[in-house]
Structure 1
Amino acid sequence: MCDTMVALPPVTLSGSVMFAKNSDRERNEGQPFAAFPRATHAAGSRLRCTYIDIPQVAETNATLLSRPFWCWGAEIGANEHGVVIGNEAMVATIAPGVEKKLIGMDLVRLGLERAATAAEAIEVITSLLEAHGQGGPCGHLHEHFYDNGFIIADRREAFVLETIGTFWAVERVSGFRALSNAFSIGRGAIRRAGGGLLEHARAAGFCTSLEDLDFAQNYLSLERDAISQGRARCSRATEILGRHAPRLTPAHLMAALRDHGAAAEADPRWHPAHLQGRSICMHAGEGLRRSQSTASLVSELRGDGRVLHWVTASAAPCLSIFKPVLPGLVVPAEAARAGDSYDAASLWWRHEMLHRAAERGDYAAVIADFAPQRDALEADSRARIEAVLAAPAAEQQSVMDACWAEAAALAARVTASLPAMPDADAAHAGSWRELDRRAGLPLVCEAA
C-alpha cells in the first residue's frame, strides 16, 4: 500500500510544484536510497530490468532512487531534470499479469532514466508498457501481483497515469491531487489513453468514447479496495491537502505522510495496534496488514529550475527525520545499504531499532518525546539548506552532510534513552516478533 500526492501553483505558498510519497512494503524489506550517475551505453546493448531484458538507450539520466533491495526498479525517485515519479499498486476487475515482464517499479526507474520532462516520462512508460507489458511477482516474503498507477511531475506540470496490463489512461493535474491503491480517473478526466483501453471499454459497453469513460468506476476491484482502502486513503490525503491550500509547504506534505487518520488525531494515547484498516503513515500488524511505510520522499520543484528533496531513508515517517538532498551532491553511503537482515552500517536498519521498539512498546510516550525534537531539527535543516541554495557545491555538501549527521545523532540519542517497555498489545507485538528474529534485530528495550 502506498500514498502519493502532488500540489501545483497556485495552491503552494512558494509557487513551486510539490510532490510527496510514502512507499509501503513488507516489514523486513529494506529500501536503500542512492544516487546513480548519468551514463552512456553502447549501440545495441541490452538492459536487465527486474525480470526481463529490454533494449538500452544511448544515454540515461542521473537519478535518485528509493527502491526495495531486491529489485532493479524503484518505488520513488527523481532525475537530474527535476522529474519525480511514484507508483501505486492497483488491482482491477481484470486479473493482473503473473508472467514475468516489466513491473511498476521498473517503469518508475525507466521513466526517470529516459525522460527530461513529466510529459516525456508518460511517453516512455506507456511505450514500454505497450511493447513489453507488465507482470510478475512484486512481493518480498509474500506473493503479490498487481498493475500500477503513477503520479509524474516536473516543475511545470503533473499527471496521473493509471494502467491495467497494456491499457493506460492519463489525467492532467490541476491544483492538488492524491493517489492511493485505487483507480481514480473519472468520467471526463481522461486526457489521453492507449494500449487498447478504448477498444476494450467499448466492447464491454462501458462507453462510446474516452469522454464518457469512467475508468475508476468500470475497472476498480471493489473487493480488493475493501482490503486496501485505497479510495479512503486518497480521500483522506485530499482532505489534508485541502486544509492548507493555497498555502501548501513541504512541511505540510511531510505532515500528511505522517497521518494516522482521524481517530489518531483525537487520541493522544494512540498506538499502531489501534489502527483499524489502513492509514497514510502505514504501520504493519497482525492478519492481512503486512505492509508498512518503508521510505518517504518530499520534493520541491521550483520554477527557476532549482530542486530540493527531503528523504527519510527509513521506515515509519512519524518516527523518522526528513533529511535534505540536493541533486548532484553525494548521498551518505549508509543510506544506500539495506537488505532483509539487520546491518549496523545501514541507516534503514539502525532506525528499525527505534521504530520497532515503539511499535511493540509505549508508542505514545516515544512519539511525544521524539516528535518535537524531530520537527525542530527539520525546521532548522530547511532554513540552513535554503541559505546555501545559491552557494558553491562544496558549501552545499557541507551543510547537507551536517543535517544528515544531526538527524542520525538525534535518532541515536532517542534510541539509546528508551526504557525497558512491556508489550503494549500482545497480538500486535507478536506479529512483529518473528520478523524481528528473522532479521536478527538486536532489540534495545524489551522488558525483562
Structure 2
Amino acid sequence: MFHYVIKTKFISILTRRLFNNCTYITIDESPKELNNVILSKPAWMWGAEMGANDKNVVIGNEAVWTSNNEGEGDARQKRLLGMDLVRLGLERGSTAEEALDVITSLLEKYGQGGPCSENDDSHIYHNSFLIADCKEAWVLETSGKLWAAEKIISGYRNISNGLTIRTKIDKHSEGLLEKAMALGVWNGKGKFDFSSAFSSGGDEKRQKEGERLLKESTEVGPFTVQDMFNVLRHKDSGICRSCDDTFPTQGSQVSSLSTNSISVHWFTATPDPSISYFKPFIFTPNAQVSPLTESPKEPKREHALYKLHGEHMVSANNDKISEVLRDMERGCLHEIDEFIQKYQQNEKTIDEMDNLMNKCVETEVKLYG
C-alpha cells in the first residue's frame, strides 16, 4: 500500500536566501518577495501536492507517465519533484499565468525527477498541473523538460493520471515539435497532439468520470463549494479512494476564489474525504494553522489530527461521528457565507478569521475525545 501522512502548513513571507533547498536539489532563490502560502503536502518532502497563495492563485498536481524516459526525461534522476514545482509556483507566482511561467522556467532549467515516495525508490513519474486564479486557469502537462499548456477561460476542466492536452496548445516549451520528431513520437504530419505523442497510458476512467460529474453538477444550477466536496467524495468513480486502497486518497482541497471579496480554501488534512471534514482557511494579516496538523519529523510523521482521525474514523468506521462531522461542515459553509455578507457590508473585519482553521481543527479533535 502506498501510504504517507499529509499535513497542512501555512508559510508566511520568507527571509530572502541565496539558495532554495528543495526536496532533492538546491536551486537559486527568487529575486522577488515571496507570497504567503498554505500547502497540503506529504510530511516528508519540501514540496506540496496542492495549495494556495495570498494572491488568489491555487495549484494542484497529478502524476503522469510518458514515453520520454531517457536523458532529460529520466524520472529516476533526482531533480525537482512535481510537488516542489507546485510550491515554487505558489511562492513566486502572483497570477495563474505567472505561476505557470515560474514552473515551466524552473522545469526547463533544472528538470524533474526523483522518487516520489519516502520508502519506495521505484515510485517515479512526470507531472501535470492545474493552475488557477480568479481570471483564468491553465492545464500544464509535462514529459521530462518538455511541456504544453492549455488556457481555460470558461466551463470546467479536470486532470487525472494521464495526459489530456491534445491539439489546443496555448504555450509550449521551446522547440517542442522538433524535439518530438527527434524522439520519434511525431512524424511532423498533421496538427501536433501532445497527448498522442507522449502518453504511455493513464487512468482514463477517473478522468472521464470526473468530467462527467462536473458536467452533471454544472447543468443543474450554479456550481457550489458543496458540489465540489461531493465530487471529491465520489467512490464509484475512483476519485475518492478508501484508506485500504493501494493508493488511498490523502489530503483534499477545495478553493473558492473571489476578486472583490474573500477567497476561502477548504482542507481536510486527513485521508479519505468521504469520512473527513473540510475545514476553512482564509488569508489574513495574522493567519494561523493549528499545530495539531504539524507532523513530527520521524518516524511515522503522523500529526495529532491524523492519528485521531485514523483511530475514530478509519479503524472504527464511526457513522455517528461521520454525520456529526458533516453537520459541522455544513455549519461552517453557512457561517462563512454569513461572514462574507457582513464583511462586504463593513460589519466584519478580516482579522476575525485569523484562527478560523485552528478553531475548526480543535473542534474536530475534541469530538474524537
Task: State the TM-score, normalizing by the size of structure 2.
Answer: 0.88
CA distance in 1, matches of 2:16, 2:86: 20
C-alpha distance in 2 between matches for 1:317 and 1:338: 23
Aligned residue number for residue 333 of structure 2:
382
Q: Aligned-pair distance for 1:100?
A: 0.8
Structure 1, unmatched stretches of 5+, are 1-24, 263-278, 414-448
**SS of the residue 2:157 aligns to:** strand
Unaligned runs of 5+ in 2: none
3-state DSSP of counterpart to 1:170? strand
Alpha-carbon deviations, 1:382-430, whole Å to 9, x = none? 11122223222442236554433333333x16xxxxxxxxxxxxxxxxx
SS at match of 2:104: helix
1:348 to 306, 315, 322: 306
Find 1:200's aligned residue among 166, 179, 185.
Answer: 179
Q: Name 1:85's counterpart in structure 2.
A: 59
Distance 2:359 2:185 in 1: 59
Shift of 1:215: 1.4
Once the two structures are TM-superposed, the CA of residue 206 in structure 1 deviates from its matched residue by: 2.2
Alpha carbons of 1:385 and 1:397: their partners in 2 closer, same or farther (altered >3 Å)? farther
Asked whether the 8 Å contact 2:288–2:355 carries over to 1, the reply is: no
For 1:108, what is the secondary structure of its paired residue?
helix
C-alpha displacement at 1:192, in angstroms?
1.2
Amino acid at match of 2:50: I
**Structure 2 residue aligned with 1:248:** 223
SS in 1 for 2:128: strand
Is the contact made by 2:89 and 2:103 (CA closer than 8 Å) also made in structure 1?
yes
Distance (whole Å) between structure 2 residues aligned to residue 141 and residue 77 of structure 1? 24
For the Cα contact (< 8 Å) 2:80–2:113, is it kept in 1? yes
In the alignment, structure 1 residue 336 sits paired with structure 2 residue 309:
no
On the 8 A contact 2:59/2:132 being kept in 1, the answer is yes
CA distance in 1, matches of 2:227, 2:296: 28
Distance 1:141 1:291 in 2: 14
Aligned pair count reads 351
State the distance in 1 between where 2:260 and 2:39 align. Answer: 23
2:156 to 158, 170, 176: 176
The answer on whether the counterparts of 2:113 and 2:126 sit within 8 Å (CA) in structure 1 is yes
Alpha carbons of 1:401 and 1:133: their partners in 2 closer, same or farther (altered >3 Å)? closer
The 3 A distance-change label for structure 1 pair 145 and 205 is: closer
User: 1:164-216: per-residue Cα shift (whole Å, max 9, x none)?
Assistant: 110000011231011011011112x111111542112234362648x812211
User: Which residue number in structure 2 is paired with residue 16 of structure 1?
Assistant: none
The CA distance in 2 between the partners of 1:34 and 1:294, in whole Å, is 15
Partner of 2:276: 320
- CA distance 1:341–1:322, change in 2 (3 Å): farther
Amino acid at match of 2:311: M
Q: What CA distance in whole angstroms lies between the structure 1 residues aligned with 2:104 and 2:82? A: 11
Q: Determine which of 94, 102, 122 is the counterpart of 2:68.
A: 94
Cα-to-partner distance string for 1:281-319 (whole Å, 9 max, x where unaligned): 11254xxx5321110110000131521011101111111
Please say if residues 77 and 85 of structure 1, whose CA atoms lie closer than 8 Å, have aligned partners that are also in contact.
yes
Match of 1:105 in 2: 83
1:33 alignment counterpart:
8
Residue equivalent to 1:392: 349
Distance 1:324 1:243 in 2: 25
2:323 aligned counterpart, secondary structure = helix
Question: Aligned residue for 2:50?
Answer: 76
Q: Deviation digits for residues 213-262 of structure 1, max 9, x if unmatched?
A: 2211222113xx3xxxx211011111111111152101111111111116
Check conservation: 1:151, 1:158, Cα contact below 8 A.
yes
1:135/1:400 CA distance change after superposition, 3 Å: closer
Aligned counterpart, 1:311: 267
CA contact (8 A) 2:7 2:303 kept: no
1:337 shift after superposition:
2.3
Residues 378, 399 of structure 1: CA spacing in aligned structure 2 closer, same or farther, 3 A cutoff? same
State the distance in 1 between where 2:243 and 2:326 align. 24
State whether residues 334 and 345 of structure 1, in contact with CA within 8 Å, keep that contact through their aligned partners in structure 2. yes
For residue 140 of structure 1, report the CA deviation from its aligned partner. Answer: 2.5
Asked if residue 146 in structure 1 is aligned to residue 146 in structure 2, the reply is: no
Instruction: Specify the code of the residue in structure 2 equivalent to 1:162.
Output: E
- CA apart distance, 1:32: 1.4
Letter matched to residue 382 of structure 1: L
SS of 1:302's equivalent? coil
Amino acid at match of 2:42: P
Q: 8 Å contact 1:63–1:77 — kept in the other structure?
A: yes
Residues of 2 paired with 1:195 and 1:98: CA distance?
Answer: 24
Aligned residue runs from structure 1 range 291-306, under 5 A: 291-304=247-260, 306=262
> Residue 294 of structure 2 contacts residue 303 of structure 2 at CA under 8 Å; is this kept in 1?
no
**Any conservation in 2 of the 1:37–1:62 contact (CA below 8 Å)?**
yes
Q: Give the CA deviation at 1:80.
A: 1.0
Mapping of residues 57-68 of structure 1, within 5 Å: 57-58=30-31, 59-68=33-42
Give the structure-1-normalised TM-score.
0.73
CA distance in structure 1 between the aligned counterparts of 2:283 and 2:170, rounded to whole angstroms: 31
Partner of 2:212: 239
- Residue in structure 1 matched with residue 194 of structure 2 by the alignment: 215
- In structure 1, what is the Cα distance between the partners aligned to 2:61 and 2:351? 33
- CA distance in 1 between counterparts of 2:296 and 2:90 reads 22
Describe the shift of the 1:121–1:349 C-alpha distance in structure 2 as closer, same or farther (beyond 3 A): same
Relative to structure 1, is the Cα distance of residues 340 and 282 closer, same or farther in structure 2, using a 3 angstrom cutoff? Answer: farther
* Structure 1 letter corresponding to 2:289: V
Deviations 1:311-343 (A, max 9, x none): 101111111100111113211111122566567
* Secondary structure, counterpart of 1:93 in structure 2: coil
Task: Provide the secondary structure at the position in 2 that maps to 1:105.
Answer: helix
What's 2:360 paired with?
A: 403
2-structure distance, mates of 1:340, 1:282: 26
